[in-house]
Chain A
């Protein structure tokens, strides 16, 4: 069963709704005992970095998720803030992140000439940077719905699974082993997002 980790704000219902539409069972859970039994994990989230980390900690989830993901290799997909928490930190806050993927988050600089705002909001393309299973099944670069101000900078090119252009090219899909993260919202990205969630749900 896929467990969608509830640790505060985030559009959890939308993720469950899209999985359900494709016939995949999932449950929204905040109870550590229940989450411990998950065979797959989705870490969603919107909002501020520090608050996200503090909420995870306050609910006793940091060590539990770490043991599940790093030791038992339970596949995990981080979405939006959930992806950002996988790194070691962010310009947005001072809390350390989970540190499972060597990356750090920086803020977009606005660029008036090119009409770029520090908030990257809207539909943008994702280009494959590796042969990861998460981005399989697309015959053209898919487009997804993004809303974020901070973007991933990975230490290791091998952790960059997909890229997007906004001012410069940034890592919009990251991964390491059975841990994946997407900066956009697959649950709000029509058939493109369905394919991605299907890839995650069907991955071994």
Chain B
């Protein structure tokens, strides 16, 4: 049985982990090492750590803390944030990161996606696409933590990323981020139909049923932040993750091996 992957996405800022709403209003979640240790104990499928201020602040990936984080990850670890060169990718892989997530640079310097894919293999090369709904219908891709418009359509952006060598696409709805109201399924479906590489749905998951609907829509993996770090109406911080049998249960929505 190939389990669809369920992936916590954790936002790193300085030495803390945070969770956003609509890419804003960061709430402190906890110490990254402790938090990763808890997720590891819960046997998570995979984890994505994003330094959401690295690009905006013009910083490189924080290698020292990532080395400590990687030491706690007995599961695949993907990292994104501030990656602008192949040397940085080399450093990240060396310290124990499996996959690099390219976002702003994938649009500002698309050739880097190909160079990373040539070096690390396409299965280690992930392009994350942050998307907002347009006022008059349709979608637009944003970079720089949702601050910079690109004028690009997410479907075209995903196809370009695949052609450049991305082995996975994260499609992230800024509008749904932190809302816990469910994924933008229409957006996920559009992107899934347009590419042949695995698509990771992100933005809006609040319950197990949401994860199921992303997989039904064709996503290979369902990612979430708030759902795994908050509990209850008042968003108290509590690390959680579906039980192994709950994740197994998602298989019926996915591929037939």
Please list the residues of chain A having a beta carbon within 8 angstroms of any beta carbon in chain B. 9, 11, 13-14, 17-18, 21, 46-48, 110, 114-117, 119-125, 143, 145, 147, 149, 165-167, 185, 187-191, 193-194
Contact = CB atoms under 8 A, between A and B. Distances in A.
Interface in B1-46: 1-5, 40, 43, 45-46
Interface stretch (B92-100, B138-146, B202-210, B231-239): B92-100
A28 to B, nearest CB: 10
A121 B220 contact: yes
Given A121-B123, A122-B4, A167-B257, A18 B74 contact: yes
B156 interface: no
Given A17-B71, A188-B74, A9 B96 contact: no
Given A115-B254, A147-B123, A13 B3 contact: no
A190 B257 contact: no
Interface of B: 1-5, 40, 43, 45-46, 70-71, 73-76, 93-96, 98, 119-121, 123-124, 167-168, 196-198, 218, 220-221, 254-257
Q: Please report whether the interface of chain B is mostly helix, strand, loop or mixed according to DSSP.
A: loop
B126 to A, nearest CB: 11
**Which 7 pairs between the two chains have the least Cβ-Cβ distance?**
A115-B255, A114-B256, A13-B96, A165-B257, A123-B3, A190-B43, A147-B123
A34 B98 CA distance: 27
A91 B182 CA distance: 42
B70 A14 contact: yes
B218 A115 contact: yes
11 contacts: A11-B93, A46-B121, A116-B256, A117-B197, A122-B2, A122-B221, A123-B3, A145-B45, A187-B74, A188-B73, A188-B74
B167 A119 contact: yes
Contact of B257 (A9, A116, A145): A116
A145 B76 contact: yes
B8 to A, nearest CB: 14
Contacts of A145: 45-46, 75-76
Contacts of B198: 117, 119, 121
Which has the most chain B C-beta neighbours within 10 Å: A9, A116, A123, A145?
A: A123
Contacts of B73: 14, 188
A166 B257 contact: yes
B167 A188 contact: no
A189 B74 contact: yes
Contacts of B75: 145, 188-190
Contacts of A17: 70-71, 96
Given A11-B93, A14-B73, A48-B121, 13 more contacts: A11-B98, A17-B70, A46-B120, A110-B196, A115-B218, A120-B2, A121-B123, A121-B198, A123-B3, A124-B2, A125-B1, A143-B3, A185-B76
